[in-house]
A and B are shown apart, each in its own frame.
Chain A
């Protein structure tokens, strides 16, 4: 199939085309770029929700319940579930889908599993592209499940409108998750497995950290950060308890964003994407070009012999190229 055909199919909501489009974005940079450029004008309608949190907190099960609730409300849903690739073999076990399989034959749901391929930050390089494809295909809501390594998953904030941090009592490291940067990016907190006895303590722990943050922000006089108070929702994903309330809060956040912040966030995301694209192209074109020149080998030797440090070497090479 030609790129134009696939793009047309995506816009028409054809599942095979959606699947092929995501594969192209994952594997063929040039074709992928062409495809994304074609569908880009049709993106921007979906509400993108990031679901992150430590492994074992119940993200996949929760996403399955969230999707069912959205479906009950007549919305269509796209899900991108990311799992880590082995840094040694490059392979991956993509098991998130296992908890969502009852949705497999629902016409209004599209689920795609993706391996990080050692891209840092909890999502894959192709995740942003996959989200755009699902957006252009007309999905009302897109849920991205991060790889779940814990504290380093801040990339999701650049992709999602609403970031939901899912914690569960008894995982041992919930306080660590609370302390790390992830706390700052979460728009909604979920305490899953809320039927456990220690759930309320976890809620209180989160509240005290949020309170502290509130006080700091007040001192710094950052008004706009205080306007949205991240709520804490208790859920029992296995039964669906608390999920309708979670969906309500997500809706509230969406409305809050539409009051103007969404432009600011969109600009931030656009800048991040543009810088990343530039960086990619620079590495690809300049480094490839340099490698073909003899100077590259000579400079490598000088670095090994400690005659020149790598940063100064980069300056030398770039001065040549960017003159």
Chain B
């Protein structure tokens, strides 16, 4: 069991929103599904998020944003990830993101967006199925 590779996830909250119950609930659910989850707290800048993802060598980044500023932060994060050569990381987003913004976010590289009301199992299942299968031997 201890030699098995665990999916490593970063749950981050960019920007100024201060409600993180949702992010914590998702973090817990992913942990209960056997993943190693890093939660970095509130008010993270895109630079902090990307640097954290790099140092922790995560497989997945889950961005939680409730402030409505997703179009300001998320594409910037994708840009930074590209600059750092971290394009193999699965990036997903959740929070109060309106339907009409989802295509733009997907274009920027966010693989899936989970709006309010998404059942937890759906998110967990998505991550389990879509997290990069990192070559066991590097």
A43 to B24, CA, bound (A): 38
A142 to B45, CA, bound (A): 26
A91 lies within 8 A of B85 (CB): no
A19 lies within 8 A of B48 (CB): no
The reply to whether the CB of B31 lies closer than 8 angstroms to some CB of chain A is: yes
B32 lies within 8 A of A91 (CB): yes
A97 to B39, CA, bound (A): 8
A1 lies within 8 A of B37 (CB): no
The reply to whether the CB of B5 lies closer than 8 angstroms to some CB of chain A is: yes
A91 lies within 8 A of B35 (CB): yes
Q: Which residues 6-28 of B have a CB within 8 angstroms of A?
A: 6, 27-28
A19 lies within 8 A of B57 (CB): yes
A105 to B36, CA, bound (A): 22
The reply to whether the CB of B111 lies closer than 8 angstroms to some CB of chain A is: no
Give the secondary structure class of A's interface.
mixed
Whether A95 contacts B31 in the complex (CB less than 8 A), given A1-B138, A112-B56, comes out as no
Q: Which residues 23-78 of A have a CB within 8 angstroms of B?
A: 23-24, 27-31
B36 to chain A, nearest CB (A): 5
Whether A94 contacts B37 in the complex (CB less than 8 A), given A1-B138, A27-B136, comes out as yes
B39 lies within 8 A of A95 (CB): yes
The reply to whether the CB of A20 lies closer than 8 angstroms to some CB of chain B is: yes
The reply to whether the CB of A92 lies closer than 8 angstroms to some CB of chain B is: yes
The reply to whether the CB of A111 lies closer than 8 angstroms to some CB of chain B is: yes
The reply to whether the CB of A247 lies closer than 8 angstroms to some CB of chain B is: no
Contact for B41 among A29, A85, A92, A101, CB less than 8 A: A101
The reply to whether the CB of B44 lies closer than 8 angstroms to some CB of chain A is: yes
The reply to whether the CB of A125 lies closer than 8 angstroms to some CB of chain B is: yes
A85 to B1, CA, bound (A): 12
8 A-B residue pairs with Cβ-Cβ distance under 8 Å, sorted by A, are: A19-B56, A28-B137, A89-B31, A91-B33, A91-B34, A91-B36, A93-B31, A118-B2
Q: Which residues of A are interface residues toward B (Cβ below 8 A)?
A: 1, 3, 6, 15-16, 18-20, 22-24, 27-31, 85-86, 89-95, 97-98, 101, 104-105, 110-113, 115, 117-119, 125
